Amino acid sequence: MDDLSFVNKDIEQISVSESLIYSPENVYLRINNNSVGLKILHANIRSINCNFDHLTILLHRLNLSLDVIILSECWLSKSPFIPALPDFNVYESSHRNQNDGVVAYVKNGLNCDVEFPDFYDANCITLKFSNNLAIIALYRSPSHTNLTPFFQSLDTTLTTLKNLETVAIIGDININLLPNDKELSITDEYLNLVASHAMLPAHLHPTRKQNCLDHIILRTSNNASTFILDTPITDHLPLILCLSAKGKVDASKRVSQRNNIPAIISDLQSTDFSPILTSSDPDTVADALVNVISTIVKKHSCYVPIPSRKRIIKPWITPGLLKCIRQRDKLYRKFKKTPENEINKTIYLRYRKFCNGILKKVKREYQQVEIQKARKNPKATWNIIKQIANLHKKQNNSSNLLKLNDNPLTSINSVNTFFANVDSYEKFEYI
């Protein structure tokens, strides 16, 4: 009997990830931007149209090079156009209700297969990466009281990923991992289900009031760290999951070309161009001149990675606005320590409203200035309007045509057959 009690204590102490609470400005102290692996942010955004600017400010404050950004409760029914993020591809789930929807941003250059599993009473995007890793991005609305269909869908999806070494469920699941007596049976059923797939919670910190509703459920043999960001975009706290990887995750890095202009000019002045000038063939002269110049420029140039802290996400984010947001977070932490204190609550809510007004004003003034600058250039004006209204055309990746069938060669033959018979398809359509 004593041995069994020791076993139970050991099981309760099993941890799949360290978990820590940090402010956005300080979390980079524990995260290595150059480490091999994935850095994933999750945030309940409660309408991507209304709160995307707050997300943008959070990204600016983080000073991190994130690989994946997952947003839940996006209100996609009210968001016909999804805002773009520089250097990220964007994917959106299906939605049934007003507040439904999951949006995933994946960094350009990451080798990732995106799937949209059928889920009862939830929205889901599955991201599969080339290094034996998958992310299940989920949002489950609390309006669905019968969880049996959801549990069945989750079990089916996890079964399809049983051969992968690292799997993470990330999202606002609206099942409290810090349950009261009424919620205990539902929480136990949920944790038993994920445990049957060798998965455990990566953290057990409150993410909305005193409840742990935003989950990271993880199965991995590698090192992992979870960070709860002590700043509210909505009334949920954002999460960051850092996964180390045995295999390299392919990702393009943003770099800047640095040219030593004085050295280039000096080399050009000392170069003998007489062999080029004596040639009578203009094509030969052009090729030789380009070759000489490009060789000199390459000799005195280098590519330097751009640190995330120096990347401009949105130019309208001013130092004053960041100071205002930090003060809001300070008041939020004070209110959270004593939620029964009505004075602290009133001060926080009023200052939050003031910050929201400042944010909208700063952004609106910046947009007005940009439109005024481009008033004499119709093309530039329309580009600015498209940026403001998120009217970005989605880029269709032609490589997806290789995945029409299990065999790439069969897929290519299917595409060729289609285009070879376009004429007959058109005739059939008009019969």
- The pLDDT assigned to 423 comes to 65
Asked if residue 344 lies in contact with residue 335, where contact means CB atoms within 8 angstroms, the answer is: yes
- The pLDDT assigned to 398 comes to 61
Residue 222 and residue 76 in one domain:
yes
Residue 169 and residue 122 in one domain:
yes
Q: Which of 28-42, 208-222, 316-330 has the lowest mean pLDDT?
A: 28-42
Residue 80 and residue 201 in one domain:
yes
Flag whether pLDDT at 105 surpasses 60: yes
- The pLDDT assigned to 6 comes to 43
Residue 59 and residue 86 in one domain:
yes
7: in domain: no
Residue 109 and residue 218 in one domain:
yes
Flag whether pLDDT at 252 surpasses 60: no
108: in domain: yes
For residue range 302-341, what is the model confidence (pLDDT) as tens digits? Answer: 877 665 555 556 788 888 898 999 999 999 999 988 889 9
- The pLDDT assigned to 406 comes to 67
pLDDT (mean) for 113-131:
91
301: in domain: yes
Instruction: Measure Cα distances from 90 to 47, 49, 178 in Å.
Output: 16, 15, 32
- Domain with 54 in it: what CATH number? 3.60.10.10
Residue 359 and residue 420 in one domain:
no
Of residues 203 and 132, the one with the higher pLDDT is 203
> Confidence class of residue 426 from pLDDT cuts 50, 70 and 90?
low
- The pLDDT assigned to 7 comes to 39
Within 8 A by CB and 6+ apart from 278, the residues are none
- The pLDDT assigned to 391 comes to 78
For residue range 36-46, what is the model confidence (pLDDT) as tens digits? Answer: 679 999 999 99
- The pLDDT assigned to 10 comes to 47
pLDDT (mean) for 381-400:
73
Flag whether pLDDT at 8 surpasses 50: no
Residue 210 and residue 263 in one domain:
no
Residue 238 and residue 98 in one domain:
yes
Task: Name the domain boundary from 211, 244, 277.
Answer: 244
Residue 78 and residue 164 in one domain:
yes
* ∠ CA 311-316-319, rounded to 5°: 80
pLDDT (mean) for 246-268:
69
Percent of the chain residues topping a pLDDT of 90? 50
pLDDT (mean) for 9-33:
78
Within 8 A by CB and 6+ apart from 381, the residues are 371, 374, 375
Task: Name the domain boundary from 209, 224, 244.
Answer: 244
- The pLDDT assigned to 245 comes to 62
Containing structural domain, residue 402 = 398-430
6: in domain: no
366: in domain: yes
Residue 113 and residue 192 in one domain:
yes
Task: Name the domain boundary from 195, 217, 244.
Answer: 244
Number of domains in the chain: 4
How many CB atoms neighbour CB 396 within 10 A? 8
Of residues 28 and 157, the one with the higher pLDDT is 157
> Confidence class of residue 347 from pLDDT cuts 50, 70 and 90?
very high
Residue 169 and residue 86 in one domain:
yes
Residue 92 and residue 174 in one domain:
yes
119: in domain: yes
9: in domain: no
Average predicted confidence (pLDDT) for the chain: 85
- The pLDDT assigned to 298 comes to 87
Gap between the Cα atoms of 398 and 412, Å rounded: 11
Flag whether pLDDT at 4 surpasses 60: no
3: in domain: no
